[in-house]
Amino acid sequence: MGVIFAKTRKGHDEIETRSGGLSPRVRRVLIFVDGKRSVEDLRGMLQYDDLQHTLGLLEEDGFIEMGGTAGVQGGAGVPMAPASLTAFRLHPPGDDPVRLQKARNFMLNTLNAFVGALGTSSLQDRVEAARSPAELRSLFDEWYHAIVSSRDGRREAEQLRSKLLEVI
């Protein structure tokens, strides 16, 4: 199944008036969201390495909303309860120190591998100092931005993002 997004009233207003201050690249994604194309269709058309992240930003800012899913055979959209592409997993109550350390190590290792210590030392210090999943989650967007800012990281960004969302 593929997720299908549709423009909200705010999204239509942005297309008409350009009042949201979106970058040309993000605006282009918004233009292609039509309530009929699945995320996979959009990925094939736009060839953006960070498409899922961009869709998540548009969703969080209220420009688009999830309208349904498309079946594997390309069937009609089926309405679904809204869900976010950027949603963190629900974990059992209480902080799991092993899961916290795993997420912290993943963030630090990927920053070192794709960006390097020099460009992200401040972020790495904050990741190391994080004492709860909530603190790491607050650094998620900055981590993702750092990853997609590198050429190699941009290629792997969606896979890395998915892996981190499993533990954070």
* pLDDT score of 70 more than 80: no
Domains of the chain: 2-70 (1.10.10), 97-167 (no CATH)
Of the pLDDT bands very low, low, confident and very high (cuts 50, 70, 90), residue 127 is: very high
**C-beta separation of 108 from 128 below 8 A:** yes
Residue whose C-alpha is closest to residue 115's, from 142, 93, 89, 77: 142
More confident residue, 69 or 165: 165
**C-beta separation of 42 from 1 below 8 A:** no
* pLDDT tens, position by position, 146-155: 887 888 887 7
d(CA 81, CA 77): 13
Helix (H, G, I), strand (E, B), or coil: what is residue 85?
coil
Of the chain, the percentage scoring pLDDT greater than 90 comes to 28
Of the pLDDT bands very low, low, confident and very high (cuts 50, 70, 90), residue 110 is: very high
* Structure tokens that stand for 59 in this block: 């969703």
